[in-house]
Chains A and B, each alone.
Chain A
Amino acid sequence: MQGDTLCEPDRRAARASEVAAGVMCMLFGCAGASRADYALNLPPPATGIARQIYDLHTLILWICAAILVVVFVPMVIALVRHRRSAGHVAHRFHDNLRLEILWTVIPVLILVGMAYPATKTVIEMKDWSASDMTIKVVGRQWKWEYEYVDEDLRFISTLSTPRSEIDNASAKNANYLLEVDRPLVVPTGAKIKLILTASDVIHAWWIPAFGVKQDAVPGFIRETWFRVDEPGTYRGQCAELCGVGHGFMPIVVEAVTPERFLSWKTEQRTQMAALKEASTREYTLTELVGHGEKVYAANCAVCHQANGGGVPPAFPPLDGSKLVAGPAGDHLDRVFNGRSGTAMQAFGPQLSDFDIAAVVTFERNSWSNRIGDMVQPAQVAALRKQP
């Protein structure tokens, strides 16, 4: 029943945008472009709130269109019929109190008509009580960290588009810049409450199809919520300018059935146990460098660049760096604790012992750096235990 009411306007909207896109294509001579390239409206709503926003926007668009006609039809008539070149002589009237009162009062009434449905939606958007599940979202330059509160499940989600696609060295895939290594997974039908914060600058968590956009403000907690009904993959991006990587900080949410969600959680637990396990053994230099390269690409390359050259002075080069050439302990400390007052964040809380050991080892043995030593996960674990 609900499915039916959702579908009909959708189909109509799709048809309307298809026609409009065709017109646009003809207008601008862009034959052959696919329909998705010329979307004219909000994306198909996936939540009740997004549906209300969609309808509210449509309503206002029609009201604006009506006002447009009321304003521009007389204007066009005046411009055509009251031209000097058509011999029209000016009538020198300049006041009409009744008319002036009318066009002040009528807009007020129209605005009240608009405010009513808008207010209803705002009140609903702000009601995150009786949620089924809480997820903590932390924005970091330039990735998202998700923590399933009460579930002991926490991971970081970063852009997975290969650098070569961004640099136009290889063909771009369909989800270019909107794909991550680990999406946020949520069960369908559940009211999910998000609590958001940030660790460095302001970010904004946004999924257009959910009608959810909320700034993540460092030092403060913000709240919002959503409930997805249909399983699927929903994509969005960070919406608040947060520095160099702002355009490379996507958000992907996978909505799955509650049963699938349970098995996903079990998988995650197993993986996390495996990761912990991985941090307890010793590795060879080749193993560490091999894994470190992947960790570097996902976490470090945005600033320090894939070739280790950095973007001085904001992001110092690691290739030939004094810090890297110095004692491994200092190098590890910088990666683990970051450097306050700069964009260098603390990776200790973000990465596993194995990841950190591997990436430090990789940096010490890549490009022109040939230090030859390595850092083992145990050293990171020791650092972690320090007060």
Chain B
Amino acid sequence: MMPKSVKILVIDEHEIILKSISRALRSSQEILYDVTTTNTAIEGLKLVRNNIYDLVLIDAFLSGMSARETVRRIKNISPLTRVVYMYGHTSGNEIVEYMETGDGILLKPFNTEEIKSTISRILIA
């Protein structure tokens, strides 16, 4: 069953993505989404250490620390936190590997409905 309140962390270097996801989720009537955003993996890991998140949305192509390494560390710090990659490339080369390390994949560009349905599918599962 989908919880009434969901705490989400978004890690993406693109400001437009951070703002868009915040706007899309905050507009929800049924579920209260508590959205925190950051544009670096290091800051994201600090936030995961100091807070308990239900779900992390992370860009698959971060500069600096790779997304997969960040996800591995998030899972070490907080094993129950679900992680969804946001994937903007069209190639299928790496997507299979992301499918194996994360809990789900959200293909860019996505709309409000796709974000919400992905979050609920991952959290209910």
Partners in one complex: no
Which residues on A are within 8 Å of B, measured CB to CB?
Answer: none
Which residues on B are within 8 Å of A, measured CB to CB?
Answer: none
